[in-house]
Amino acid sequence: MQAVILAAGEGTRLRPLTRSRPKALVPVANTPILKYVIDALLANGIREIIVVVGYRKEHVIRYLTESDLPVRVVVQENQLGTGHALRCAEPYLHDRFLLLAGDNYIDAASIARIKGERNAVLVTDHPNPTNFGVVVARDGLVREIKEKPDTPTGFIVSTGVYALDRSFFRYTVGQEIPDALQAMIRDGGRVVPVQAVDWQDAVNPWDLLEMNTKLLPRIDAKRAGTISRSSKLYGLIRIGKGTEIGPNTYIHGPVVIGEDCKIGPNCVILPNTSIGSRVTIDPLSYVAHSLVMDDVVIGSHSRIIDAVVGEACRLADHTATWTAGAVLEREGRFQKASFGAVLGDRVRSAPFTILKNCIVGNDVTIEAGNTTVTGVIPDDAVVI
Amino acid sequence: MCGIVGYIGFRSAADVIVEGLQKLEYRGYDSFGVATSNPHLAVYKCEGKISEKFEKARELHGSIGVGHTRWATHGVPSDRNAHPHLDCTGRIAVVHNGIIENYSALTRELKERGHTFLSETDTEVVAHLIEEAYDGDLRAAVAQAITHLKGSYALLVTAEGHEEIVAARDSSPLVLGIGDQELFAASDVTPLIGYTERVVYLDDGDLATLDREGWHVYHHGTPVKRAIEHVDWDVETVRKGGFPHYMLKEIFEQPKVFYDTFHGITPESLPERYRRPSEITVVACGSSYHAGLVFKYLCESTCRIPVRAELGSEFKYFTPPLKGIVMVITQSGETADTLAALKKAKAYNCPTLAITNVLGSTVTRIADHTLYMRAGPEISVAATKSFVAQLAVLMQLVNLMSPKSGLSGSLERANSAIDEVLLQDIGRAVEICRPAEHLFYVGRGLFYPIALEGALKMKEISYIHAEGYAAGELKHGPFALLSEETPVVALCSPGDTYSIMLSNIKEMKARKAPIIGIGARGDRELIDIVDVFLPIPESHELVQLIATSVLLQQLAYQTAVALGRDVDQPRNLAKSVTVE
């Protein structure tokens, strides 16, 4: 059996985190979302995997090459939609295949349910159906898929995982995948809905925190590195090689820490926290329920809670996040969400910065100390 | 990384394996070996590249065999350390890709039980473990042996008197190829291409037997079925993993290469006698020479030690009076001119230090001491990651010679700066370079060697005539060449020479030369006077230097691609220059 994973799109709703990488490469529990999808396929014995890359394709290819994963890469030169992305893989497809999104988590059990079907869509219940394609099914067949409806007629949504065969290509010209499927159904095609076991999508950047919390309990507890005898570690914890955990550090799992990090002394890391590789957390800092990516420096006396911290951010001492729920305007849409902070890549902050329910763009510099940052700060801004 | 191949069928196993190993050379090429069983075990091992020394290996007879091409991790490349490894009886042959983490403990135990080890590799323990468990059933013996192993492995085992190959994997890649009356096993599908399109990917924990009757897979002892997949890939696509060229692949590996190399050199790597020399003479060729020039600027200003950078080809015939240590830099470790210079330095009784990427290469055997870059195999003729790795070694060297300089802290995160530069869209700069017949690269101080290296990259792969100059030298001649048809790449980072660089750029601008300016992000003054501005991250001068060289590699690469050049194999050039 073959599978096509679409990893060519940016995933704009996850900005600012998608400037340096497509959504498929965003790490959750220190593993890119794409890797979960590939693993779920491999666990089902599906070995002929084609990954369609486009946006920041070199980064995706680099990741796949470094991990020595047995996949074939197909390049979509221009981002012309999902239907076009699938057609880029067409020359390599023989008959039946699975189609998946590289930027949604899917588990192996769901794949097992759908892989035997000829034409099927994997569906799930979701409390916010307006962000997805709402599936209308009757008599065991899909009748209609309404893409991101304003007034949804139900809570069953498409997960973007499909079982298809080559006859589907007739409908893909100039179409997005859900529209093509809709056309196939109108043409009398039989498409079966299959209930997913576990599927997750992070629509907004702060949703990554919830996804991180859900996926962290699945890590292998394995502790490498140097861990001070006077530190205290409880629960499910994974620590990568080369990492140093300083004296009197308290870590309560589930927590994953990457390679070559320096943490402590006297730090506290509380549950549902992922810390990437080469991260430094200076003494007397406190991190909880957060997703910290690679190469980040968190200064001493900091307090990072409910935060997504992008790659290579440098937060000076006494940085604090403040969890609150305000209405934020993002790309013309108003949303209310409660979280501490979402920082893009390479954000630099001065000492005593307070980040209150804010989204800070890539390469932003917060120059003045003692500032409370709120709202949405665009990329490359300087806060004075 | 290493590559392994196994074959059982009707052809000459040695031929199939040698050909397969050549295709796997991108995974490692410092030594290789083949074992065939006919029905007695015959082994040929050799240090060096398989593509150059394969003749003898092909003389082995038999239609069953295993082979290996190595990139040394434990033990230097030598005939002795090359795979396959045998047990004490010489009847069991093992090839291995991966790292056995607990090999030293296992070696100790096995030695206590009377086993004799012939090599310094981690792999040899596997052969002896199989020997201990062997009672006529090869599969059972391998299954028993791998229970002792910690780490990663893809193994192929063959034994005298057995018409079979046993394969096992855990965390290292291994595929089986299913042909007509013949079976293959290899690190990836490249050796299979041309023989069969039907492959089986093994899982972690799988053990497979390949014999005359067919193939079977066992997962932790239980027989399992594995599906046959169909592959119609071509060799080059597999090796590049999706990148259009090796050069681009290697450019994108640089953040990791810099980090690994910089942290791979520790105070223990540098003996005391190299710390405070009275004088240093650096000898190198090509890109390595430019790295040497960077070292000269850096070491002289930071450590106050006089440094002389010499070209290998000149040094050999016009040797200057030598004092202090002689340091040679060569990616391959085989550069003829550099080796000749090194021998000369030894004849003068100077302590010698080598910097190379290839463990156990010729240079490491001649030099008194060697520091290694951790760039991994570099396939593209144009040096990219090895240049950045050389900078990493040299900067760490300066740091060790002058620990108070604080270089270590500043450079610790250079990897993110490289990553940041790789995100940049340089399309407009490429548009300026593409139609040009001549290009000038100018910089001052530390950025002068970077200008030389940038120009070298450009001429190597795009065939555009490019010259690097110290910016002040332009006025002493080259200025006469400037016109609107000679674009200039100006390296203008903050620092002592910033303001004089700015006025140089204005002078060039007055001669109507289109200017591509590279400077710190947000540098308004520079943005206003140049035609295209390429920003690099604001940070330590040395981090900017590394970021600039990566940006110049990208500029050369993308210009060459836009011109339709053969980037990985530029005309008239060879990867390592082993003749004078």
Does A144 share its domain with A240?
A: no
In eight-state DSSP terms, residue B492 is: -
Q: Is it the case that residue B577 has pLDDT exceeding 70? A: no
- B415 vs A278: CB contact, 8 Å cut-off? yes
- Give me the pLDDT at residue B238, please: 66
Write down which residue in A169, A203, A237 finishes a domain.
Answer: A203
- B230 vs A94: CB contact, 8 Å cut-off? yes
- The answer to whether the bond into A271 is cis (omega within 30° of 0) is no
Residues of B in CB contact (< 8 Å) with A are 172-173, 175, 201, 203, 226-227, 229-233, 237, 241-243, 248-249, 252-253, 256, 259, 263, 413, 415-416, 419-420, 422-423, 521, 537
Does A88 share its domain with A52?
A: yes
Active site (catalytic) residues of B? 2, 575
Q: Is it the case that residue B159 has pLDDT exceeding 70? A: yes
**How far away is chain A from the Cα of B241, in angstroms, using its nearest Cα?**
6
Domain for residue A213, yes or no?
no
What is the Rg, in whole angstroms, of the alpha carbon atoms belonging to chain B? 26
- A47 vs B230: CB contact, 8 Å cut-off? no
Q: H or E stretch including A346?
A: none
- Closest residue in B to A68 (Cα) is B173
pLDDT in tens, A257-271: 999 999 989 999 999
Domain for residue A210, yes or no?
no
- Give me the pLDDT at residue B1, please: 67
Look at B10-19, B49-58, B310-319 and tell me which has the smallest mean pLDDT.
B49-58
CA distance A382 to A50: 42
Domain for residue A332, yes or no?
yes
Question: Which of B229, B241, B252 shows the shortest C-beta gap to A47?
Answer: B229
pLDDT in tens, B70-119: 877 666 778 888 888 988 888 899 999 888 888 889 999 999 998 988 88
CA distance B455 to B1: 32
Over range B222-228, report the average pLDDT.
86
**How far away is chain B from the Cα of A10, in angstroms, using its nearest Cα?**
14
Residues B238/B194, Cβ–Cβ less than 8 Å: no
Over range B157-168, report the average pLDDT.
90
Beta strands per DSSP E along B206-315: 206-211, 215-219, 222-224, 229-230, 280-284, 307-311
Look at residues B561, B556, B567, B569 and name the one whose alpha carbon lies nearest to residue B433.
B556
CA distance B352 to B345: 7
The band of A359, judged by pLDDT with boundaries at 50, 70 and 90, is: very high
- B227 vs A45: CB contact, 8 Å cut-off? yes
- B422 vs A312: CB contact, 8 Å cut-off? no
- Give me the pLDDT at residue B72, please: 73
Q: Is it the case that residue B575 has pLDDT exceeding 80? A: no
Question: Which of A73, A92, A260 shows the shortest C-beta gap to B241?
Answer: A73
* Residue B136: count of CB within 10 angstroms of its CB: 8
- Closest residue in B to A2 (Cα) is B229
Cα-Cα-Cα-Cα torsion A9, A10, A11, A14, nearest 10 degrees, comes to 170
Domain for residue A312, yes or no?
yes
**How far away is chain A from the Cα of B203, in angstroms, using its nearest Cα?**
9
Domain residues for the domain of A302 are 218-383
Q: H or E stretch including B379?
A: none
Write down which residue in A143, A175, A203 finishes a domain.
Answer: A203
Does A41 share its domain with A178?
A: yes
pLDDT in tens, A186-234: 888 888 999 999 999 888 999 999 999 999 999 988 899 999 999 999 9
Does A182 share its domain with A223?
A: no
Domains (range + CATH), chain B: 3-240 (3.60.20.10), 243-412 (3.40.50.10490), 425-580 (3.40.50.10490)
Asked whether the CA dihedral B520, B525, B528, B530 is positive or negative, the reply is negative
- Give me the pLDDT at residue B234, please: 65
ipTM for this prediction: 0.85
Q: Is it the case that residue B558 has pLDDT exceeding 90? A: yes
Q: Is A70 part of the contact surface with chain B (CB cutoff 8 Å)?
A: yes
Over range A130-139, report the average pLDDT.
85
Does A66 share its domain with A119?
A: yes
Q: Is it the case that residue B571 has pLDDT exceeding 90? A: no
Domain for residue A211, yes or no?
no
Looking up tokens 């150059």 gives B52
Residues B1/B378, Cβ–Cβ less than 8 Å: no
- B175 vs A70: CB contact, 8 Å cut-off? yes
- A64 vs B241: CB contact, 8 Å cut-off? yes
How many separate domains does chain A show?
A: 2
Does A139 share its domain with A223?
A: no
Q: What's the whole-number average pLDDT of chain A? A: 91
- Among the residues of chain A, which ranges form H helices? 33-43, 57-66, 82-88, 108-114, 177-186, 207-215
- A73 vs B242: CB contact, 8 Å cut-off? yes
Does A182 share its domain with A291?
A: no
Does A67 share its domain with A159?
A: yes
Token pair, residue A17, equals 């985190």
Does A188 share its domain with A225?
A: no
CA distance B101 to A104: 35
Asked whether the CA dihedral B465, B470, B471, B473 is positive or negative, the reply is negative
Looking up tokens 């926290």 gives A273
Q: Is it the case that residue B179 has pLDDT exceeding 70? A: yes
pLDDT in tens, B448-490: 999 999 999 999 999 999 999 998 888 888 888 888 899 999 9
All residues of chain A having their beta carbon less than 8 Å from the beta carbon of residue B186 are none
Token pair, residue A84, equals 């076009």
CATH code of the domain in which A34 resides: 3.90.550.10
pLDDT in tens, B271-314: 888 888 999 999 999 999 999 999 999 999 999 999 999 999 89
Write down which residue in A179, A203, A227 finishes a domain.
Answer: A203
Residues B82/B45, Cβ–Cβ less than 8 Å: yes
- Helix axis angle, B286-303 relative to B447-462, nearest 10°? 170
- A312 vs B416: CB contact, 8 Å cut-off? yes
Q: Is A45 part of the contact surface with chain B (CB cutoff 8 Å)?
A: yes
- Give me the pLDDT at residue A362, please: 93
CATH code of the domain in which A226 resides: 2.160.10.10
Domain for residue A131, yes or no?
yes
CA distance B364 to A199: 54
pLDDT in tens, A283-335: 999 999 999 999 999 999 999 999 999 999 999 999 999 988 878 777 777 77
Side chain identity at B43, as an amino acid letter? V
Over range A165-191, report the average pLDDT.
88
Q: Is A375 part of the contact surface with chain B (CB cutoff 8 Å)?
A: no
The partner residues of B328 in beta bridges, in order of sequence, read B283, B354
Domain for residue A333, yes or no?
yes
- Give me the pLDDT at residue B578, please: 61
> How many alpha carbons fall within 13 Å on the CB side of residue B516?
26
CA distance B378 to B261: 15
Residues B93/B127, Cβ–Cβ less than 8 Å: yes
Does A40 share its domain with A161?
A: yes
Look at A5-9, A264-268, B287-291, B493-497 and tell me which has the smallest mean pLDDT.
B493-497
Question: Which of B249, B415, B537 shows the shortest C-beta gap to A65?
Answer: B249
CA distance A186 to A165: 17
Domain for residue A46, yes or no?
yes
Does A14 share its domain with A144?
A: yes
- Closest residue in B to A39 (Cα) is B203
Does A374 share its domain with A225?
A: yes
CA distance A193 to A134: 12
